[in-house]
Chains A and B, each alone.
Chain A
């Protein structure tokens, strides 16, 4: 009960933040009611998915300061658990998704325990390596379709199927991922104020001091890594049902791991709203730059150049990301 109260308590945020958060929430809930294109809907679903990926990354990467560049392996575990269980044994999403989270958390303990003996760049490189190794294993594992991947056939199920998450209209997917999104915010809000959240921030500030205060640094990191993993795996399961086709090259690629970290870092690592802001800026920008410029003769690839320039500019102006810019402005006003 205390945890629920803490999750629902946003009183430490300024009123302005809460006002903006309220407006954005109302907008998100009402979005499907407004006239919109299917591309806009797909973009919004991507935004919500990457916000959740970013929230997961933010627990260990933002609050904990441990730069994890191997999150795609957990997307893959979640996606493959859902797809394998559905295509082989007709297990509904609502069963396979928690199973995927369970497998992902188990895997995170197996690799997290030794990996957190490493620090800084070494840890980041090790997370990349484990993710790529797992991807390579999936690429030769026939049970999960090897490199060809798995397809959830659109002719095998009749939509709308709420148990298996098979829909023709994206609006159903939108509201399901939106539900996960709000739950994710509440969970991270509780997490940042929890004992583990405070422990993690003290570890980020100074690991030796944290240890001298009696914090089991290694165990705190491993536990938080598992939490981050569960988030990412949950969205991975959703991704499998939404796209209906998964393969290691797409679901477990290094590009995806980097994009997840980029969302949170650009938005503002270590803040509740950072990953949402990062995804809210980068996902629509990437999608619409590609839509407007990406396929025009003579301009092919210009969208990627503009996208990269904007990322570089934000990083150069404020390394703490967009949320860092907001806090800097606030600091000036307070003075």
Chain B
């Protein structure tokens, strides 16, 4: 009998003690708390590490004086208009799970009493987290989710700094069009019939399925034949049937929207099945991660990826070079599309808070709607940050832009990304056609 009672006590204990002893978060003086929700484990854990490092670096710069950096955020220690209050980032791991993301958002808002939210990388998670923020009237800045639908919901507490996939996908088709017109550096005009057949394979959550639809829509608009369009699960352990299907389509251009592990698996399977299209293009994410490069080595030479930041940007922007050096010292890697945008997300928070001098949600909302950060302040090559306050895309930064890079082996023998698009800032000749693995 005693044992059973002991067991009962254990069971009730687990329910009672665990749930009651988690104290609601206090509000420390001199701090501005930003809840940061990223995928720190799961298939996108590599991206999560990069995002976290980018956000932490931005917070470190904002919380200290770094006169060498020509940016407003580095001039003061903390938020000057809030009496030097320091930025405190509270990280949470959503595992790529929208339900968990929503629960974490509630915890951050109600228990940790954060002043705002930043996240979440996966568009599907950003969707649920932003819905929670909207319900509670808490500001959320999103730096890295690119599903166009996110800013078409009329939300008043959601702002997105990154350009979205409609812009990025349009850039891709502009590049293909440029190829046929001889605009691409180092490549003579390619007859359109040589690259007219395209095929796409996108992961099948919110982000990938939107990209898939955009590719279909732009292919039609630009006069390309979409021979195959398929969706696959990013967690798949085997993509051979998808690759066989792509191979059977005999497409000249293969387009992908993949997270890290599936991007690596996709290229490995393409290589194993000897699929050799003329162009392979990835919609950022997995195609741009350091793990993609380190795992696949030289076989990625000639693969294209869209991004918002490439190490070559430092040749155009001195500020980017300085921040990149700090990031490299911290992580051993160059800034990438994810880390640069996470950095910019925190930076946007700092500018908004500096402008408003308050942590009241309504004040932050007003400041975010009227913020105008010049491009010279940013590490990413955008014209600046200014959010749309009317029209279809409420809260979308209207001054962003994208890049398309290509993996090429440098003189030092290391694989790096060269800027191919926009044509006027191209840093190297494009390798065309794709040379094989």
Q: Which A residues form the contact surface with B (CB < 8 A)?
A: 14, 16-17, 19-20, 23-24, 27, 31, 34-40, 42-44, 46-47, 139-140, 146-149, 151, 153-155, 159, 168, 170, 239, 243-245, 247-250, 277, 280-281, 284-285, 288, 290-291, 294-295, 297, 300-301, 304, 325-326, 329-330, 333
Interface of B is mostly: helix
B7 partner, pick from A38, A304, A326, beta carbons under 8 A: A326
Residue in A168, A281, A295, A301 whose beta carbon sits within 8 Å of that of B14 in the complex: A281
Min C-beta distance of B184 to chain A, whole Å = 33
- Select one of A42, A153, A284 contacting B153, CB under 8 A: A153
Is A300's CB under 8 angstroms from B45's CB? yes
User: Complex formed: what's the CA distance from A250 to B122 in Å?
Assistant: 13
Could you tell me the distance between the alpha carbons of A20 and B1 in the complex, rounded to whole angstroms? Answer: 12
- Roughly how many angstroms separate A149 CA and B111 CA in the complex, as a whole number? 29
A42 to B127, alpha carbons, bound, how many Å? 18
- Complex interface: chain B residues within 8 A of A277 (CB): 11
Q: Which of B7, B16, B135, B210 makes the CB contact (< 8 A) with A27?
A: B16
**Cross-interface CB contact of A280 among B15, B102, B107, B149, cutoff 8 Å:** B15
A140 touching B231 by the CB < 8 A rule? yes
- Give the Cβ gap from B327 to chain A, nearest Cβ, in Å: 16
Q: Which of A170, A249, A330 contacts B124 (CB 8 A)?
A: A249
Closest to A39 in B: B107
**Chain B 48-67 interface 0/1 with A at a Cβ cutoff of 8 Å (1 = within):** 11001000000000000000
Q: Which residues of B contact A23 (CB under 8 A)?
A: 8, 12
Residue-wise, chain B 132-167 has the 8 Å CB interface mask toward A (1 for contact) of 101110000000000001000111100000000000
> Which of chain A's residues have a CB closer than 8 A to the CB of B154?
155
Q: A24-B12, A27-B15, A147-B231 are in contact. Are A37 and B110 (CB under 8 A)?
A: yes
Cα separation A302 to B314 with both chains bound (whole Å): 37
Q: How far is the CB of B220 from chain A (nearest CB, A)?
A: 17
Min CB–CB distance B291 → chain A (angstroms)? 15
Q: Is the CB of B131 within 8 A of A244?
A: yes
Among A31, A170, A288, A295, which residue has its beta carbon within 8 angstroms of that of B40? Answer: A295
Q: Say yes or no: is B28 at the interface (Cβ < 8 Å to chain A).
A: no
Contact of A147 among B45, B135, B208 (CB under 8 A): B208
12 contacts between A and B (CB under 8 A): A14-B4, A17-B4, A37-B24, A140-B231, A146-B209, A147-B209, A154-B135, A244-B102, A250-B97, A295-B93, A301-B41, A326-B4
Interface mask (B1-45 → A, CB under 8 Å = 1, otherwise 0): 101110110011011101110111000000000000000110001
Pairwise interchain contact B11-A40, C-beta atoms closer than 8 A: no
Q: Which residues of B contact A153 (CB under 8 A)?
A: 131, 153
Supposing A37-B111, A39-B22, A243-B102 touch, asked if A20 and B12 sit within 8 A by C-beta, the answer is yes
Q: How far is it, in angstroms, between the C-alpha of A19 and the C-alpha of B7 when the chains are bound?
A: 12
Which of A140, A149, A300 is the one whose CB lies under 8 Å from B41? A300
* Closest partner residue, chain B, to A326 (CB atom): B7
Number of A-B contacts (CB under 8 A): 165
Please report the C-alpha to C-alpha distance between residue A322 and residue B65 in the assembled complex, in whole angstroms: 56
Q: A170: shortest Cβ distance to chain B, in Å?
A: 7
Q: Are B99 and A24 in contact (CB under 8 A)?
A: no
* B231 and A16 form a contact (CB under 8 A): no
Cβ of A37: which chain B residues have Cβ within 8 Å of it?
19, 22-24, 107, 110-111
> In the complex the two chains form, is A149's CB within 8 Å of B124's CB?
yes
For the complex, is B408 an interface residue (Cβ under 8 Å from A)? Answer: no
User: In chain A, what residue has the closest Cβ to B3?
Assistant: A329
Q: A148-B205, A300-B41 are in contact. List 7 more A-B contacts (CB 8 A).
A: A39-B107, A148-B210, A247-B205, A249-B204, A284-B19, A300-B45, A300-B93
> Who on chain A is nearest to B156 by CB?
A155
Known: A245-B98, A304-B41. A139 touches B103 (CB 8 A): no
Closest to B15 in A: A280
Q: Which of A16, A31, A39, A154 contacts B8 (CB 8 A)?
A: A16
Residues of chain B with a CB closer than 8 A to A249's CB: 124, 204-205, 233
| CB <8 Å contact, A300 and B11 | no
Chain B residues whose CB sits within 8 angstroms of the CB of A284 once the complex forms: 14-15, 18-19
* Contacts of B395-426 to chain A: CB distance below 8 A: none
A247 to B122, CA, bound (A): 13
- Residues in B neighbouring A24, C-beta threshold 8 A: 11-12, 15
Contact A154 B134 (CB under 8 A): yes
Contact A245 B4 (CB under 8 A): no
A245 and B127 contact, Cβ closer than 8 Å, known pairs A24-B15, A148-B149, A285-B14 = yes
State in angstroms the CA–CA spacing of A168 and B138 once bound together. 13
Q: How far is the CA of A291 from the CA of B22 in the complex (A)?
A: 10
A288 and B106 CA atoms in complex are apart in Å by 15
In the bound complex, CA of A140 to CA of B24 (Å): 42
Residues of B within 8 A of A159 (CB): 135
- A39-B22, A42-B107 given as contacts; is B11 within 8 A of A281 (CB)? yes
Distance in angstroms from B132 CB to nearest chain A CB is 8
Contact yes or no, A147 B19, CB < 8 A: no
**A36 vs B110: C-alpha distance when bound (angstroms):** 11
> In the complex, which residues of chain A have a beta carbon less than 8 angstroms from the beta carbon of B52?
297
Pairwise interchain contact A16-B5, C-beta atoms closer than 8 A: yes
Chain B residues with CB under 8 Å of A155's CB are 134, 153-156
Cβ contacts under 8 Å, B97 to chain A = 250
Kindly provide the distance from the CB of A235 to the nearest chain B CB, expressed in whole angstroms: 13
CB neighbours (8 Å) of A39 from chain B are: 22, 103, 106-107, 111
Within 8 Å by CB of A333, from B1, B103, B131, lies: B1
Which of A17, A140, A151 makes the CB contact (< 8 A) with B131?
Answer: A151
Closest to B8 in A: A20
Quick check: is B206 within 8 A (CB to CB) of the other chain? Answer: yes
Q: A-B pairs with the 8 shortest C-beta distances?
A: A38-B110, A40-B19, A20-B8, A147-B209, A39-B107, A147-B204, A37-B111, A295-B91
Cβ–Cβ < 8 Å partners of A297 in chain B? 52
- Evaluate whether A245 and B11 lie within 8 angstroms (CB atoms) in the complex, with A37-B23, A147-B204, A288-B22 already known: no
B283 at the A/B interface (Cβ < 8 Å)? no
**Distance of A157 Cα from B102 Cα, bound (Å):** 18
Q: Which residue of B lies closest to A290 (CB)?
A: B93
Interface status of B92 (Cβ within 8 A of chain A): yes
Indicate the member of A47, A151, A249 with the most B CB atoms within 10 Å.
Answer: A249
- Give the distance to chain A from B125, nearest Cβ to Cβ, in Å: 9
B165 to chain A, nearest CB (A): 12
Cα–Cα distance between A155 and B132 once the two chains are bound (Å): 11
